[in-house]
Structures are given as structure tokens and as C-alpha cells.
Amino acid sequence: MSSSAESTSFSIQPTASDPPVVMIQPVHGWASLRLRDVWEYRELLLFLAWRDIKVRYKQTALGVIWVLLQPVITIAIFSVIFGALMKVPSEGTPYPIFAFAALLPWNYFAGALTRSSTSLVGSANLITKVYFPRLIIPLSAVVSGLIDLGVSFLVLIVLMGYYGIHLTAALVLLPMLVLLVTLTALAFGLWLSALNVRYRDINYLVPFLVQIWMYVTPVIYGTALIPERFRFLLGLNPMTGVVEGFRWALLGPSAPGFQMSGWIYLLSACVLVVVLMSGLVYFRTTEQTFADIV
């Protein structure tokens, strides 16, 4: 047979120098997370995030200006309704700044959660045709919001300058907090995206979930508004820690609302770890059936 002769000459070619061996078999449990695979495909992750961003503003008249306008309009509405009319106490800080510092991570989280929950179903044509680690899809949906977050951050800085509020050294913790909110969005995004493949109810559920979630998170109000004995409940919501953390990093240690004891943050962190780990496992164990049922 001629193929044996061909395969010897073939092995000299650079592409064949060391072909990776892939084992295809049914997988179960923890061993199957394949996080290294995700790293191998990091370029795809960036491409997909880049595509998301590009397409989002492609046929809009104002284009990227929307990224600037969205937070400004939201803040204007919130300031009028909650700040001026309802007089929600903002403890010394001007209400627009008080709310904006919290809306920064919240808007990112809400967007990332909504996008990632529909991401797998929206990529059905990819999933049924090409192999790549499926984790890339919700991950890119979460990552693609970071640009908007960055632009909003700049808007906030300008606004703070207008009100004469200075940044403090606490700002160095901001990157950590950005990572935290990204992981939080990913944790819940993993659950919702994987559940959405099987139960399209998730599509209808997420908008309500996001709405309710915002009201139970101290975004438009501060934790000071919650009676002491109920504050531990806030700890069950990982976004509480994130939002208060952002206020603290942006407005300084004297910032309003930073009155929760440390163990509430610890509780927040534990909830996050549990949701993230269980989300990864659930995602991975259902991943093998995505292509069959999506």
C-alpha cells in the first residue's frame, strides 16, 4: 500500500512533527473540567469577545458613543427619582456619585449575566458544528462587557472631578474587584447558560431576576438603610460585597455604606466560590449533550 511510504515522508513535514494525541471517550466528574483546553483556545475567546463588541455597535448611528451615554442617562434618571424626589440618603457623598460608583459594577454584571445566559443557545450553529471548549462561549460573553465597564469608569472619573471628589489610595484594589465581579458574573452565567440549553424558560426568567437582584443589592441605596439584624442577609448576595467594595475603592475608606463587618464579606465570598465551582461542574457535565439538544 502506498500510504506507508507517504506517511514516512509525511513525518518530516513540520506540521506533523508532534501531533497532539486526543482521547475521545465519555467523561465524568471533576477530572473533566479541561481548564487547560480553555487556555489553549484563549485566542478564540478574544476573537469572540471582539466580535460581540464590534457587532453590538455596528449598525447604530451613534456607535461607541452609546457606551458613554448609557451610564450617563441611567445616572440622570436615578439621581432625579431616588436622589432628588425620594431623597435616598447617600451619607455625605453627592447622590449621582454615590449611585454611579455602585452602578459601575452592577451594569457590567447585569449585562454580562444577560448575555451569557443566552450565549450558548445563540451559538447553537457553532456548537453543533465545531469543537472548542464550550466554556469559551459564556466566558467571552462575560469578558466582552469589560470594555463598556472601562468607558463607564472614565465617565465616573470626569463626574467625580466635576463634584471635586478625589480618588484615594484604595483605588489600587479596583483591579481585584473587577476580577471579583467578572467571576461573579461568570459563576451565575455558567449556571444560566447551561440551564438555558435545556430549559428555555431561562430566557424569560433572567430579565426579572436581574431586576429583583438590583433592588436587593445596595445599588440605589446604602447598606446603612438596612437594619443591623438583617444585614447578614446581604452577605448571601455576592453582589453586595462587590458593590460595596467598588464604592470603597472609588470613594475612599470613609465611603458611605462601608459599615458591614468582615464576616459578611466572607459569607459573600463563600457563596461565590460554591456557585462558581458548582457552575463549572454542572456546565462541564452537561456540556457533552449541548450539541445533541440545543
Partner 1 sequence: MSNIAIRAENLGKLYHLGRAQVRHNTLRDALADGLRAPLNWLRRDGKSSRERLDQLIWALQNVSFDVKRGEAVGIIGRNGAGKSTLLKILSRITEPTEGHARVYGRVGSLLEVGTGFHPELTGRENIYLNGAILGMRRAEIARKFDEMVAFAEIERFLDTPVKRYSSGMYVRLAFAVAAHLEPEILVVDEVLAVGDLAFQKKCLGKMEDVAHGGRTVLFVSHNMNAVQRLCSSCMMLDRGQLVAYGNTPEVIVRYLSSSSGKVLPAAWIDLTSMSRRGTGSARFSAIWFSSDDESVEFQPYSNGPLDVSLSLVSDSPRTVGSIAVTLYDEYGTKLVNADTISLGRGIPLQAGDNIVRLRIRELHLNPGVYSLGLWVADPPAEIYDYTESAIRIEVVRLESEGLGLRPVSDGSVVCDFDVLDVSHGGDGGLSHG
Q: How crowded is the C-beta side of 95, counted as CA atoms within 13 Å?
A: 18
The one among 199, 253, 261, 263 contacting partner 1 by CB under 8 A: 199
Taking CB under 8 A as the criterion, the residue among 61, 169, 172, 293 binding partner 1 is 293
Residue 174 CA to residue 249 CA, distance in Å, equals: 6
Pairs from 257-261 (Cβ < 8 Å, separation ≥ 24):
257/91, 257/218, 257/222, 257/223, 257/224, 259/223, 259/224, 260/223, 260/231, 260/234, 260/235
Query: What is the closest distance, in whole angstroms, from the C-beta atom of residue 114 to partner 1 in the complex?
Result: 19
Q: Which of 31, 130, 169, 172 binds partner 1 (CB under 8 A)?
A: 130
Q: Which is nearer to partner 1, 195 or 264 (CB)?
A: 195
Stretch that binds partner 1, among 14-22, 145-153, 227-235, 249-257 (CB under 8 A): 14-22
Q: How far is Cα 168 from Cα 148, in angstroms, rounded to an integer?
A: 23
The residue among 119, 259, 131 whose CA lies nearest residue 203 is 119
First to last CA, the chain: 43
> Of the candidates 55, 73, 176, 233, which one interacts with partner 1 according to CB under 8 A?
55
CB of residue 37 to partner 1, shortest distance in Å: 10
User: Using CB under 8 A as the criterion, which residues of the chain lie in contact with partner 1 when the complex forms?
Assistant: 1-4, 6-7, 9-11, 13, 15-16, 19-27, 41, 43-44, 47-48, 51, 54-55, 58-59, 125-132, 198-201, 288-289, 291-293
